[in-house]
Structure 1
């Protein structure tokens, strides 16, 4: 079943580290089967919405998303981020 990796950036502490992370993370996640669906700041927010950077990536399954996260290429990207951002990352199965 399809799954979605949702990253919400609560705070960016170091733009250079974030850029180094992004350079590695994008290819790592697409090579692991991820497809970027949305990326950026919201155009609109409602209720308790916050104008925080959000990334949505589609994977074939929860297992595929987990494998992408735990794989060596993405772990290298996380090492480059090195505390440069505070994020909330969750993997959610699709409704099918």
Structure 2
């Protein structure tokens, strides 16, 4: 079954966050991640508001977890943690 990585993000420093994006994309794609939504228009229906939502499809939940815990992605996270407030969930598809 496919795995999905969902991130809700509030960016606090866009210049620093751009460094995260530059490193995160290749790290995610290395593990088979395919971006389905990456920012763009969204409609808040319930709960807290975040200006950026990212949805990534992986071949499996294991691949999504491997990507998140990879050395390449850890390097990207150093920039993300200093430039954003995020909620990240990895979920198994149906």
| TM-fit CA distance, 1:43 | 3.3
TM-score by length of 1: 0.87
How many residue pairs get aligned? The number is 94
Q: Compared with structure 1, are the counterparts of its residues 89 and 81 closer, same or farther at alpha carbon in structure 2 (3 Å cutoff)?
A: same
Deviations 1:9-47 (A, max 9, x none): 0x2111111000000000110111100011114433324
- Alpha-carbon distance in structure 2 between the residues aligned to 1:21 and 1:80: 5
TM-score after normalising by structure 2: 0.89
Kindly report the root-mean-square deviation, in angstroms, between the aligned alpha carbons of the 2 structures.
1.6
Correspondence for 1:6:
6
Other-structure match for 1:77: 76
Q: Is the 8 A contact 2:8 2:50 kept in 1?
A: no
Quick one: distance in 2 between partners of 1:14 and 1:28?
Answer: 21
Deviation at 1:8, TM superposition (A): 0.3
Tell me, which stretches of 5 or more residues in structure 1 are unaligned?
none
Matches of residues 82-93 of structure 1 in structure 2 within 5 Å?
82-93=81-92
The 2-side partners of 1:61 and 1:40 are apart by 23
